[in-house]
Amino acid sequence: MSTKEKIVELWEQLYPQIPLSRLYSFLEQLEVQPVRLETTDWYKDAVVYSLYVDLFASDFDGLTQKLDYLQGLGVSCLWLLPILDSPMRDAGFDIRNYDLVRHDLLGLEKGFTREEQEQRFGRFLDEAHARGIRVIFDIAINHCSEEHPWFVEAKKTEDNPYRNYFIWSKDPGKYADARIIFKGMETSNWEPWGDSYYFHRFFNFQPDLNYRNPAVLLAMLENFLYWQKLGVDGFRADAIPYLWKEEGTDCENLPQTHLIVKMFRAVLDFVKPGTLLLAEACQKPATVVEYMGQGDECHAAYHFPVMPMFYKSIAQQSNQPIRQILHPSVTPPIPENSQWFTFLRCHDELSLELVYVSEDDRKYIHQNYCLEPSWDFRLGEGISARLSNLFGIDARKIALAYSMMLSLPGTP
C-alpha cells in the first residue's frame, strides 16, 4: 500500500460520512521535499537541549550566536519550547496563530510579513543545520488560544463556519468522566459562553479543537507542512492523548486519536521522511507505547514515569525504582524504529500525576522534595521547582542524576 493510499484509508476510518473529495484536494497540494538528513532515524542518537528562546538568548539572533557553544557541548538537537504567536497566558502553549513565530523572538515589530518571518527564522535554521544541529519545537495540537481567529469567529454566532472547530454543548455535564487536569486551577472542563459552554481540558482560555470536524485535521496538517517546508526537523506534539472526545469515556487515548496521529505521521513521511513526531503523553508506559503504533505513529515519546523515579532512587540510595519502572512488565518493548526520550525535569514541574505514579510514590517524592510550600503544584501532583533547588543545590546529587539519565537507553 502506498503512503497516499494509507492516508485515504485512515481518512475513511475517521470520517466515513465525509466525501473523499475534500481529502483529494488536500493531497493534490502536497509537495515531496528532498531529504536533507543523512539518516531518517537521527533522533535515536541525538543529544537534545531544551530551552525557551527568550529566556536563553532573548531572540533568534541571540540564539544563533550561541550555536557554537551548544555545538561544543555536543548538542545535536534543539527542542524549542513554544515559539508560535501567543498571548503568553500559558507560556506559549496558548497558540494564537499556528503559522507565525512571536514577533519579539524574530526581532520584528508586529505586523511583519511572511517573507520577513521566513527570512529571519530560516536564517537561524540554516545556521543550526550547518553545525549539525536539528531543530524541533512545541506545537499544541489539542487546543489553541481563545484569541485564535478561529475561536474569535466561533464565539460570534452558533451558525458561524468556525463554530464547529470547537466543542460546544448546552449541557456542562457532558463528558463527565474526563478528569480535571489542572487540579486547583480549574474546577470544570466546560466554560460558559452565552447560553452554551465550550470544552477545554486545560485552562479555560484554551478551548479544545474539534477533530470530529475534518477541516480541523486538514488545517493542522497544513500547519505542520508549512514549518516542515521551511526546514523544521520535527515537532513535539503537546497533549496528544486528548484529541478525540467520546461520551461515556475519559476522553483519553481513544482509537480515533491514534488514527489522527497515524494521519499526521503518514503525511509528514510522505512529504519529507525523517521529520520527527514526538509524543507528549503523560500516561503509563504501556499506554504511551501505543502512540508509537507499529512504527507508524510517533517516532518517539517522552518516558514520563521514569522521571520521578530518578528522584526516588536518589532519596532511597537505590536503583530499584528505576529498574522496576523499566522492567518489560511495566515498560513494554517498542518498535525497532522508535525511541524513548528521557529527562530529569520538564518545563512544567516535577510531575507526579496519579495517571502513572502510585499514591505511595507521589507522597514519598512530594515529602522528600517539596521543600517550600510555594513549590506545590496541582494539589500535590507536581512540584514546581528548578532541578538544582530540588537537590538542595548539591552538585554531587545533580551530577549523579544526570549520570543516571545518560546511562539509560533512550535519547536524553
pLDDT digit string (tens) for 236-270?
A: 999 999 999 999 999 999 999 999 999 999 999 99
pLDDT in tens, 96-116: 999 999 999 999 999 999 999
Q: How far is the C-alpha of 189 from the C-alpha of 197, rounded, in Å?
A: 9
Query: Which residues have C-beta within 8 Å of that of residue 81, sequence separation ≥ 6?
Result: 50, 51, 52, 53, 91, 92, 137, 138, 347
Q: Is the dihedral of CA 153, 157, 161, 166 positive or negative?
A: positive
Average pLDDT over residues 397-412: 95
Residue 37, pLDDT above cutoff 60 = no
Domain range 149-199, its CATH number among 3.50.50.60, 3.40.50.300, 3.90.400.10, 3.30.1370.10: 3.90.400.10
pTM: 0.94
Q: Are 381 and 362 in contact (CB under 8 A)?
A: yes
As a whole number of angstroms, the distance between CA 284 and CA 255 comes to: 17
Domain ranges of the chain: 3-144+211-351, 149-199
Q: Distance between CA atoms of 168 and 193, rounded to whole angstroms? A: 9
Asked whether the beta carbons of 167 and 200 are under 8 A apart, the reply is: no
Q: Compute the average pLDDT of residues 301-314.
A: 93
Catalytic residues: 238, 280
Residue 138, classed as helix, strand or coil, is strand
SS3 396: helix
CB environment 151-168: b (16+ within 10 A), e (fewer):
beebbeeeeeebbbbbbb
Confirm or reject CATH 3.40.50.300 for domain 3-144+211-351, answering yes or no.
no
